[in-house]
Amino acid sequence: MNYNEMKQSYLKGWHTWNVRSVLSHVHMPDGFALNVAFKEYREGHYLKETLVGRFVNEYGREPAETAFPGTHAFDESYTEMSLTWCDMEIKVESAAEGDELVLLVTPVKKQVRPAMLVLEGGFLWGKPGWVEKDGGRLIGHTSDKEYSVYTTGQATEDFNIPVQTAFLSVVLDGPVAFSTGKNRSLTEVQELIASHKKAHAEGAARFGELQPMYEAMESALGWDTVYDAKHDRVISPVSRLWSIGSGGYVLFCWDNFFAGFMASLGNRELAYSNLREILEEQTQEGFVPNFAYATGQCSADRSQPPVGSAMLLETYRIHGEKWIVEELYEDLLRWNCWFAEHRMNGSGALCWGSEEIPVKYGNRWETTGVHDTFGAALESGLDNSPMYDDVPFNKETHRLELEDVGLTGLYILDCRSLIDLAKLIGRDEDIARLQERMEKACAGLEGLWDEENGFYYNRRTDTGEFSRRISPTNFYALFSPEVSQERQRRIAEHYYNPSEFYGEWMLPSIARNDPAYLDQEYWRGRVWAPLNFLVYLALARTELEEVRHDLAQKSAKLFMKEWTEHRHVHENYSALTGEGCDSGNSDKFYHWGALLCVIALADAGYIEGFGAPL
């Protein structure tokens, strides 16, 4: 098998891949879409597109909905989404079997006059086809196929709604079912929905008491996965809100590598799609960019944390297919070479950087901070981290004047992972070079050890002094095989130090005794799932088992607080309260928040061999 064969096989059946609404179900590959919408009669508002975590409705005066994402099976066999809007509560469930789809819309709380439920038909992404209404049936036509859509609802009419194609409209005064293929009764649809829900729960039960965490991770990825018609591909951007604000989709480097690995726990096709498609954005210079937008904009000056080979290795550990490693290996090796050539100092330690580039489109992220300190901070992924405040930028080397423990540790992980992958696919000729780079980086890391304080610190390259501003990235030193058990124990003292990292909600993105910690604004003190995840991965090959278990427990507690209360998967969380909703800079459904679940699953033994050598 190869990737294109797998992709064509995957691009079939019903999916929630329309980025504009989580209540839009699309049949692939023909793009026939059924979109669930609502009109209420207290003030006449119309909800055409439902999204998770929207702060305000983009249509101005229209009230914003609050969506509560439920189960979303990776194979789309069952989905559940609830929403509140205009004092109504509505649950929408789906079940898919091959080319047939059923939808069940249940009003939990109604207005005095029942709302109108609308099922819009259409063809997305320029796909050929047309839709008509024939009595109580909606029909979608392609050149060689016909879709019939039926409903159990009581028909009603109201043409003062923003619909431009044929649609079904019914009174939402009780449960309403829609079905394709054949005309099913409400009872038949309810029974089919219930059986699919039960089957999914039985499958997820393999995770024991951590089943809710697996289902939360699956939900985050399932609802955030969309179809990109421009490149005919399936991707899992960090959230639909980010994608819509970026012209249709946005891919972030380390975010999508994480998405690929998370998906591997339940769906190999989605895992491989995310790993492959973020690598498709690789620049001519050889690095995977910080971002790539649907508009064509991309960060030509900088990359992001090199976690791709490690995530591919962990994905291979689960599925054991060499062909995907063979397809991705060369691009990952090229990226590894780029880091060595552009970000490694003579000592072997690495610095974040930003290249000098011509402006392509004029997007602010292509101009703000480019070839300067902020651009290099963006490359770290820790955009406004206090670690990089006031650190000079060297315009000759294109790097920060700061040898970075975090980047050096991640580069060691990258080399280590590529060596395992090279052995796996018989690329023995690469191993010596990778080993040499890893040893050089390990030597550079040793120069960042402070014996007096028992910790690895970033070091200024212009003054030679240690920087005492520390974050969880300092623990990435544990990726080095050269860190002795004695040093591991001393490093663990910093983990348990309440003045630095330890507390109820952790790990804070800057030490608690740092002046910026109380800012609790983005990377200035808040808790971020990828930091916890990478620290846990760094702990995997150490003797610090107690630390590992503690971090897993703290991560699970943090995640479940917001998930249980609001069904949110946050971009980041307060290190003071564990809340995510307290900040406008925390997307409410950002899939990498579910890395906290992965930590718990790995610690409980559900990811066999996680972090170990092949």
Q: Is residue 459 pLDDT above 60, yes or no? A: yes
Tokens describing residue 594: 């579910």
Q: Provide the pLDDT for residue 359.
A: 81
Averaged pLDDT, 271-292: 97
Amino acid at 478: L
Closest CA to 369 of 393, 387, 386: 393
What angle is formed at CA 146 by the lines to CA 145 and CA 149, rounded to 5 degrees? Answer: 145
Q: Is residue 237 pLDDT above 70, yes or no? A: yes
Averaged pLDDT, 336-364: 93
Closest CA to 256 of 228, 295, 284: 228
What size, in residues, is the chain?
Answer: 614
Q: What whole-number distance in Å separates Cα of residue 74 and Cα of residue 218?
A: 7
Q: Residue 488 burial (CB < 10 Å; 0-12/13-18/19+)?
A: middle
3-class DSSP state for residue 493? helix
Q: What whole-number distance in Å separates Cα of residue 523 and Cα of residue 549?
A: 24
- Banded pLDDT at 358 (limits 50, 70, 90): confident
Helix, strand, coil share of the chain (percent; to 5)? 40, 20, 40
Tokens describing residue 235: 């991707």
- Banded pLDDT at 275 (limits 50, 70, 90): very high
Averaged pLDDT, 87-99: 96
Q: What whole-number distance in Å separates Cα of residue 134 and Cα of residue 131?
A: 10
3-class DSSP state for residue 182? coil
3-class DSSP state for residue 437? helix
- Banded pLDDT at 60 (limits 50, 70, 90): low
140 Cβ contact partners less than 8 Å away, ≥ 6 residues apart? 32, 121, 123, 129, 130, 131, 146, 147, 149
Q: Provide the pLDDT for residue 57.
A: 53
Q: Provide the pLDDT for residue 363.
A: 80
Contact assessment for residue 536 and residue 551, using Cβ atoms and an 8 Å cutoff: yes
Q: What whole-number distance in Å separates Cα of residue 202 and Cα of residue 522?
A: 38
Q: What whole-number distance in Å separates Cα of residue 67 and Cα of residue 50?
A: 7
Q: Provide the pLDDT for residue 542.
A: 97
Q: What whole-number distance in Å separates Cα of residue 369 and Cα of residue 60?
A: 33
Q: What whole-number distance in Å separates Cα of residue 383 and Cα of residue 284?
A: 24
Q: Residue 165 burial (CB < 10 Å; 0-12/13-18/19+)?
A: middle
For CA atoms 177, 90, 584, 581, give the dihedral sign: negative
Averaged pLDDT, 367-375: 93
Structural domains for the chain: 3-195 (2.70.98), 220-603 (1.50.10.10)
Would the pTM of this model clear 0.75, i.e. be above it? yes
Q: What whole-number distance in Å separates Cα of residue 381 and Cα of residue 152?
A: 50
Contact assessment for residue 123 and residue 130, using Cβ atoms and an 8 Å cutoff: yes
Q: Provide the pLDDT for residue 49.
A: 95
- Banded pLDDT at 572 (limits 50, 70, 90): very high
Tokens describing residue 461: 């390259």
Mean pLDDT of the chain: 96
Q: What whole-number distance in Å separates Cα of residue 386 and Cα of residue 406?
A: 14
Query: Any bridge partners for residue 135, and if so which?
Result: none
Tokens describing residue 323: 């062909």
Q: Is residue 55 pLDDT above 80, yes or no? A: no
Q: What whole-number distance in Å separates Cα of residue 571 and Cα of residue 595?
A: 11
pLDDT in tens, 324-347: 999 999 999 999 999 999 999 999
Higher pLDDT, 36 or 365: 36
pLDDT in tens, 603-613: 999 999 999 98
- Banded pLDDT at 196 (limits 50, 70, 90): very high
Amino acid at 43: E
Tokens describing residue 339: 């880091």
For CA atoms 244, 249, 253, 259, give the dihedral sign: positive
For residue 141, the tally of other CB atoms under 10 A from its CB is: 15
Averaged pLDDT, 350-372: 89
3-class DSSP state for residue 310? helix
Q: What whole-number distance in Å separates Cα of residue 533 and Cα of residue 599?
A: 6
Q: What whole-number distance in Å separates Cα of residue 67 and Cα of residue 70?
A: 9
Q: What whole-number distance in Å separates Cα of residue 194 and Cα of residue 184?
A: 15
For CA atoms 52, 224, 120, 194, give the dihedral sign: negative
- Banded pLDDT at 61 (limits 50, 70, 90): low
Q: What whole-number distance in Å separates Cα of residue 473 and Cα of residue 388?
A: 13
Closest CA to 123 of 165, 81, 176: 165
Q: What whole-number distance in Å separates Cα of residue 597 and Cα of residue 218?
A: 10
Contact assessment for residue 423 and residue 431, using Cβ atoms and an 8 Å cutoff: yes
Q: What whole-number distance in Å separates Cα of residue 441 and Cα of residue 407?
A: 10
Q: Which helix (H) or strand (E) holds 108?
A: strand 100-109
DSSP 21: -
Phi, psi for residue 533 in degrees, rounded to 5: -65, -45
In angstroms, what is the C-alpha Rg of the chain? Answer: 25
Contact assessment for residue 415 and residue 426, using Cβ atoms and an 8 Å cutoff: no
pLDDT in tens, 482-522: 999 999 999 999 999 999 999 999 999 999 999 999 999 99
Contact assessment for residue 332 and residue 280, using Cβ atoms and an 8 Å cutoff: no
Q: Is residue 154 pLDDT above 90, yes or no? A: yes
